[in-house]
């Protein structure tokens, strides 16, 4: 009984303190055309049990996707590599990205919704696929992450 209580307390603490790390983001990201200079225009899809869109989750996924997943532009073969170079960068700099991606974190200053329009599709098992288009300020994001020492500069040696 004590072991069960101790394990429950441990996992509860990990999930509460871990915040961002406790729940990996699950989403799809695709290019949505060309944005203004210094930005990416992306469409993000999440699957949710509620039909009401979670704007902050969608924004978080847009920035996360630009950093760690990369994307392909719809109806073309143009592929954009992840800004951070690899998903391993997220683990290597967990002390930075944990607070960065927490609710209300710095990620939100790099993303804006293009139109106040959502794609909502009802799926099986009372789930909804929700999508929206966002503009992500990739140049400013790269610059700030380089200054924080998280990313290497484009001019740095290999």
pLDDT tens digits, 101-125: 999 899 999 999 998 899 999 998 8
Q: Distances in Å between the alpha carbon of 62 and those of 6, 38, 65, 150?
A: 37, 15, 5, 19
Q: What are the tens digits of pLDDT across the range 4-26?
A: 333 333 333 333 333 444 457 78
Question: 34 or 55, which is more confident?
Answer: 55
Q: What are the tens digits of pLDDT across the range 124-141?
A: 888 999 999 999 999 999
Q: Is 130 helix (H, G, I), strand (E, B) or coil?
A: strand
CA pair distance 111, 100, nearest whole angstrom: 13
Global confidence as pTM = 0.80
Question: Residue 29 pLDDT more than 90?
Answer: yes
Q: Is 69 helix (H, G, I), strand (E, B) or coil?
A: helix
Average pLDDT along the chain: 82
| Amino acid 33: pLDDT | 82
Q: Smallest Cα–Cα separation from 20: which of 100, 108, 92, 111?
A: 100
Q: Which residues pair with 130 in a beta bridge?
A: 46, 120
Evaluate the CA torsion angle 62, 65, 70, 75 in order and state its sign: negative
């Amino acid at each position: 009984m004590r072991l069960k209580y101790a394990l429950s307390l441990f996992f509860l603490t990990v999930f509460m303190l871990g915040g961002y790390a406790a729940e990996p983001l699950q989403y799809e990201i695709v290019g949505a055309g060309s944005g203004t200079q210094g930005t990416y225009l992306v469409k993000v899809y999440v699957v949710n049990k509620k039909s009401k869109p979670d704007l902050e989750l969608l924004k978080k996924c847009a920035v996360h996707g630009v950093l760690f997943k990369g994307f392909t532009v719809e109806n073309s073969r143009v592929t954009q590599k992840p800004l951070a170079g690899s998903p391993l960068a997220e683990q290597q700099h967990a002390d930075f990205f944990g607070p960065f991606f927490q609710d209300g974190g710095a990620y939100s200053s790099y993303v804006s919704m293009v139109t106040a329009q959502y794609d909502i599709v009802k799926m099986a098992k009372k789930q909804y696929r929700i999508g929206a288009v966002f503009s992500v300020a990739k140049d400013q994001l790269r610059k700030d992450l380089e200054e924080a020492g998280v990313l290497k500069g484009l001019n740095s040696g290999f």
